Amino acid sequence: MEQQLSTREILRNSFLKLIFEFIGSMFLTVSFNSTQKVVLSDLDADNNFSRNQTSLLLCLWVLIVFGWKVSGSHYNPAISFAFMLRRDVGKFPRPLGIAYILIQFLGGFVGALLSWFLRTDPGASGNIYIQNSSYFFYAMVAETLGSFLVVFFYLTQTEKKTVFSQEQAVNCFIIASAYIGARAMLNGTKITLSGAVLNPAIGLGTCFTQLFDTGVDHFTWVWIYALMPFVGAILAVLFHEYVFKKTQEVLLEEEEDDHDEGVNLLDK
């Protein structure tokens, strides 16, 4: 009976996590698409991107705080995929990771539909497409590098040994800032009109809804936004596990050696 109850609790907790991931992914997609309006209205305004991303930063920060204690606030299939690849998966089993990814894609699709339904701007459904087909390789690199940064910072802020602060709100802000910062470094409307997406759920869902406004023309490069962030996630896991963690271990050993030397000097 105790084992059966335990199984029920596991299923219940997993269901709650999936609900939070769905809601977070949905609202993040709505927030992303809603911040593209000013960019489209005046492509030459230098402050458009920074003005939009300040709004997106605050939205993402609130959403991360919203689900942090329940689901971990992934809201990004690339992040969940990275957690599945870690050597120590901890309390995040791989079957749950697959469920996370599926529900995030569903949340992204519903969020994109809501964005398209609620906004009346013709032809302005997220703007996730390449301006010129000759730029497709640049978009691939941007999505890979940006996702690498986002996933890496998320991994560092979810482990006790590498977390920056004991205050969870601060760590949530760091994660949100990593996403906005990565987009800012890769900002360039000549490649992808919206700037780097760095989230397969947002990219795939929004590209589908763009079919309603623009047809198949802007759907051609959907694979870049749906797949390349996973490549960045793989690179982030490799760097985190085999470079960053090793560096932290060496630094910790040096600190312990310095501490021991200090104690010996005091004893003398």
Evaluate if residue 81 carries a pLDDT over 70: yes
Summarize the confidence of residues 237-265 as an average pLDDT: 73
Tell me what the pLDDT averaged over the chain comes to: 82
In SS3 terms, 131-199 reads as CCHHHHHHHHHHHHHHHHHHHHHHHHCCCCCCCCCCCHHHHHHHHHHHHHHHHHHCCCCCCECCCCCCC
pLDDT band, very low/low/confident/very high, at 264 (cuts 50, 70, 90): low
Q: What confidence tens digit (pLDDT) does each residue in 91-128 have?
A: 788 888 999 999 999 999 999 999 888 875 555 556 78
Distance CA 236, CA 238 (A): 5
Chain centroid to CA 61: how far? 12
> Cα dist. 87→141, 241, 248, 251 in Å?
26, 8, 16, 21
pLDDT band, very low/low/confident/very high, at 172 (cuts 50, 70, 90): very high
Residue type, 83: F
pLDDT band, very low/low/confident/very high, at 4 (cuts 50, 70, 90): very low
Which CATH class, in words, describes the domain spanning 2-263? mainly alpha
pLDDT band, very low/low/confident/very high, at 49 (cuts 50, 70, 90): low
Summarize the confidence of residues 221-248 as an average pLDDT: 93
Summarize the confidence of residues 76-97 as an average pLDDT: 87
The neighbour count for residue 241, using CB atoms within 10 Å, is 15
Which residues are within 8 A (CB) of 188 and not within 5 positions of it... i.e. 6 or more apart? Answer: 142, 195
Domain map of the chain by residue range? 2-263
Cα torsion angle, 4, 6, 12, 15, sign: negative
pLDDT band, very low/low/confident/very high, at 256 (cuts 50, 70, 90): low
pLDDT band, very low/low/confident/very high, at 35 (cuts 50, 70, 90): confident
Summarize the confidence of residues 77-83 as an average pLDDT: 96
Rounded (5°) CA angle 52-56-58: 120
Distance CA 115, CA 78 (A): 22
